[in-house]
Structure 1
Amino acid sequence: MKKRSGYLVIIALCCITVGIRAQPIADTLVVTPPEAEVVFLQRNLRLLAAKLDIEVAKAEVIQSKLWPNPTVSIGEVNLWSNQGAEALGRLFGNWGNHAQVAVDVEQLIQTAGKRKKLVAIEETGIALAERSFEDLLRSLQVEFRTQLAELNRTQQGMAAYRQALERLQQLLTGYQRQVAQGNISRSEYMRLRASELELMKTIDDYRRQNGEAQQALKVLMGLPSADDRVLIATGFREIPFDTLEALNAATIQEWTYAYNTELAALRLGVTRADQQLRFERAQRVPDVKLSAGYDRGGNIMRDFVGLGIAVDLPLFHRNQGAIKAAQLALEQSRLLATNAENQVVGEAVRAWKDLQATVARRNLVGPQYEADMEALLEGYHRNFAQRHISLLEYLDFLDAYLQTKDNLLDIEKTLREQYETLRYHVGSQLP
């Protein structure tokens, strides 16, 4: 197989980064979920972009701590003199004997703790950006692990149907000879061919679903869209069923209130809205401008130095509109946070109940059921080949076996999806 330099670079990068083990086939990559997740955390473009929001928030804090720059103005400079000009002495060389100049320095002093309040707003912005990043991370982890579960389901499903297809094709080879010899009716042979086509169609459906999961995972892992390797997920970690059995609705609600990142971000939004209201109210207090000036030859004193102070009179503009807008924004934030708490806690409890139902269904099937079905299929295949059972009996059991396989794979996938959804709601309280 011709190796393309483009994806060889990607293979080398992934192997160096996380130690992913590649099969001898160049376009097949075997990854365990933990290995794939390391690549996802390091290369996911949405996460990398969201991290920059935190750095932007930190830069805003730096900006808010800076003092306003002083203002320097130079004026009253005459470039020529008239007959009534007073001799003042030269400034530079031969120039300046009759030159007048005024220099003023002005500094804005913020009152009512405006600068401190603005710093508090921006520092809350850092915490808000961090919580928003954590919420995005958890939601993407749910999506990533769900796609891994889908990848595993489709690959195992394809393997099961391909195995059944191989056995059926072995029978068809023998049946074809028997039909030619007139020992078996052609209708039985055609019935087996119809079953063969049904299996091939199902395999094609699984292949399509697998391709969709492959593409979604590659996007989440930051791999190029043109990458044509095949990911094979293996080595999933066990779900802690003992821990899940010990949970109850009250614990789920408590954990969701305390550790859900979406709710944490909304609460920080309320805090920031309250800080913004405090800042807008402080804007009612006028700032003070302090000034110092030097005037050469423009006053009764030849070299005059004076101090000044300026303050706005809050007669018309007392920041009324901005204060009202901030009050409404605070009330809006509180309403949205309360609504989200009711919704998210309800979703968490529902996710826990759904997971309980799936676990109960899994326990009802039992760990030995799949092995028993495998043994029975082997027996049915052997007995049918030896003509001990009819075609109808064989095909009925084959259909029951494949349906059971699909159901077991669906249960496994659903378990992992529901567990990851519950983990998203309750945070790090579940492993």
Structure 2
Amino acid sequence: MDSTKFILAWCLLGYAVCGNSTTGQEPLPAPIQEQRFLTLDDLTKLGLQQNPALQRLSFTIEAERGRAVQAGLFPNPQFSVSGDNLGSRIGPGGQITVPFFSQEIVTAGKLRLSRAVVERQVDQATLDLMAQRYILVTTVRRGYFDVLAVQKRVEILDQLVAFSTKSVDVSQRLLGAKEVAELDLIQFRVERNRFRAERDAAQRELAAAFRRMSANLGAPNLAVVPLEDLLILPDPIYEFEPAKSLVVNTHPQLRSAQVGVGRAQAALRLAEVQPIPNVTVGAGYVRDNIDRQDQWAFQVGLPIPIFNRNQGNIRAARAVIGEANRQVSETENDLIARLATAFGDYAAAKERVDQYRAEIIPDARKAYQLSIDAFQGGEFQYLRVLQAQRTVAETNLEYVRALGEMWKAAADISGLLLEEKWPQRQIDAIPPMPADDPAIGRARVHESGS
């Protein structure tokens, strides 16, 4: 039985020291086998190029620019021809006025104010595009780490399946030699089948998460390929108060709301000058065939603002200013709430990650090593070792899940802070998980272009 213990201990120890080895892994689905990696920068650039929401907003900006040009254009002159007394017996030709030109003169700077209103809308559309850009970037980053966390789980479970399969094979040989009981073989088989079921489910979840991410960035037909492992990067560090100050001073959604106040004020000024009448002037040549003489005609016209002094639109414009001011406060509160939520999620996930690194993973690994030593010394049955091994595996799976949640919350914060270069690429001395953790191994960063 000493040889039996040695062989079983070796099989179980493989769970804990497999490191970077991929020997014995069952093949991943065909799309995952391609030796090609996508980076976060690759996906971000792709999203910025292909996302239809950004393209739509670009057309919106161009449309607003066209309206701004149109709003400031002077009215076209009018050309008219008229005839009077055309059937007179005295002069059958009557009186013919041709040509007659008239021109409306817009007063009180209405054209300038009209253009100012629409130019504020151009500014708002531009800021909305910027805000949408960072919403897209945040969505891509969250989706990236969602996929990456599932990808790491697949790697862990795939290696656990490989080693549990070895354990089943060894146990079958030992059962044939009557060195272990059938119950022992069944326990190993149950463990292998459980890992296999979880691995298969994780692979399906990986494909779904990848397709969801690619659809969000505007490339729904993107092939499923591995992602660059960013979980080895140092944890992002944020402080709430500096982040809050940066958000309320720079975020494009808040700036757009502030521009909306300026637009409403310009609209009020335009409404107030609308009662000032525009002047229409005209002049033309008149041929009087009755008196057989040439004449000139001119006219000046303007509306008299007695009943309609635009009072309804002025009242509405004043209300819009109040609405725009409230919109600024509402937007600021919403941004702070979103930032607080992201910070809460980040702090909670980082606390779990730190506890896993500092205590949970080391204790689980130590307990596993002690159970191995006791098993080899004849003090424990191998089922105790199997239980300790399962604890280590589940601990690492939960650790990866916590890492993914931490990075997704950090992605939300980075989007609100308008961070372009994210995350930082300097790798510190603390990897996200120890190199000899079960079935995880040390990940490598595949820098683009390296």
Normalization by structure 1: what TM-score? 0.80
- CA distances 1:5-41 after superposition (whole Å, capped 9, x unpaired): xxxxxxxxxxxxxxxxxx9989664211112222221
Give secondary structure in 1 for the equivalent of 2:226: strand
Identity, % of aligned pairs? 19
Call closer, same or farther: CA 1:240–1:184 in 2, change over 3 Å. Answer: closer
Cα distance in 2, alignment partners of residues 237 and 330 from structure 1: 48
Cα distance in 2, alignment partners of residues 279 and 265 from structure 1: 21
Cα distance in 2, alignment partners of residues 352 and 382 from structure 1: 43
Task: Please state how far the C-alpha of 1:49 moved relative to its aligned partner.
Answer: 1.8
2:154 aligned to 149, 152, 158, which one? 158
2:90 aligned to 69, 73, 84, which one? 84
Task: Please state how far the C-alpha of 1:293 moved relative to its aligned partner.
Answer: 2.1
Give secondary structure in 1 for the equivalent of 2:225: strand
1:178 aligned to 174, 177, 202, which one? 174
Residue identity opposite 1:205 in structure 2: A
Task: Please state how far the C-alpha of 1:171 moved relative to its aligned partner.
Answer: 0.9
Task: Please state how far the C-alpha of 1:279 moved relative to its aligned partner.
Answer: 1.6
CA contact (8 A) 1:77 1:102 kept: no
Task: Please state how far the C-alpha of 1:274 moved relative to its aligned partner.
Answer: 2.0
Moved more, 358-367 or 303-312: 358-367
Cα distance in 2, alignment partners of residues 181 and 353 from structure 1: 57
- RMSD of equivalent CA atoms: 3.4
Matched, 1:222 2:251: no
Give secondary structure in 1 for the equivalent of 2:286: strand
Cα distance in 2, alignment partners of residues 75 and 299 from structure 1: 15
CA contact (8 A) 1:362 1:411 kept: yes
Q: Which residue of 2 aligns with 1:199?
A: 195
Call closer, same or farther: CA 1:277–1:298 in 2, change over 3 Å. Answer: farther
- CA distances 1:226-260 after superposition (whole Å, capped 9, x unpaired): x5x2221115387675853xx3x432331121012
Q: Which residue of 1 aligns with 2:275?
A: 284
Call closer, same or farther: CA 1:401–1:24 in 2, change over 3 Å. Answer: closer
Q: Which residue of 1 aligns with 2:125?
A: 129
Task: Please state how far the C-alpha of 1:149 moved relative to its aligned partner.
Answer: 0.3
For 1:29-428, what aligned pairs fall within 5 Å after superposition? Answer: 29-76=36-83, 83-85=89-91, 100-225=96-221, 229-236=223-230, 244=238, 247=239, 249-297=240-288, 302-366=293-357, 390-428=381-419
Q: Which residue of 1 aligns with 2:443?
A: none
Task: Please state how far the C-alpha of 1:174 moved relative to its aligned partner.
Answer: 1.8
Moved more, 305-314 or 347-356: 347-356
Call closer, same or farther: CA 1:350–1:99 in 2, change over 3 Å. Answer: closer
CA contact (8 A) 2:91 2:290 kept: no
Task: Please state how far the C-alpha of 1:392 moved relative to its aligned partner.
Answer: 2.1
Moved more, 378-387 or 257-266: 378-387
Cα distance in 2, alignment partners of residues 385 and 146 from structure 1: 45
How many residue pairs match? The answer is 393
Normalization by structure 2: what TM-score? 0.77
Cα distance in 2, alignment partners of residues 391 and 338 from structure 1: 64
Cα distance in 1, alignment partners of residues 43 and 368 from structure 2: 35
Cα distance in 1, alignment partners of residues 235 and 174 from structure 2: 53
CA contact (8 A) 1:29 1:230 kept: no
CA contact (8 A) 2:83 2:95 kept: no
Residue identity opposite 1:66 in structure 2: L
Cα distance in 2, alignment partners of residues 141 and 276 from structure 1: 34
Q: Which residue of 2 aligns with 1:7?
A: none
Cα distance in 2, alignment partners of residues 297 and 303 from structure 1: 6
The gaps in structure 2 that reach 5 residues or longer are 1-29, 423-450
Call closer, same or farther: CA 1:163–1:242 in 2, change over 3 Å. Answer: closer
CA contact (8 A) 2:287 2:295 kept: yes
Residue identity opposite 1:330 in structure 2: I
Task: Please state how far the C-alpha of 1:390 moved relative to its aligned partner.
Answer: 2.6
Moved more, 358-367 or 29-38: 358-367
Call closer, same or farther: CA 1:329–1:28 in 2, change over 3 Å. Answer: farther
Call closer, same or farther: CA 1:310–1:28 in 2, change over 3 Å. Answer: farther
Task: Please state how far the C-alpha of 1:216 moved relative to its aligned partner.
Answer: 1.8
Moved more, 107-116 or 97-106: 97-106
Structure having greater relative contact order (Cα 8 Å, sep ≥ 6): 2
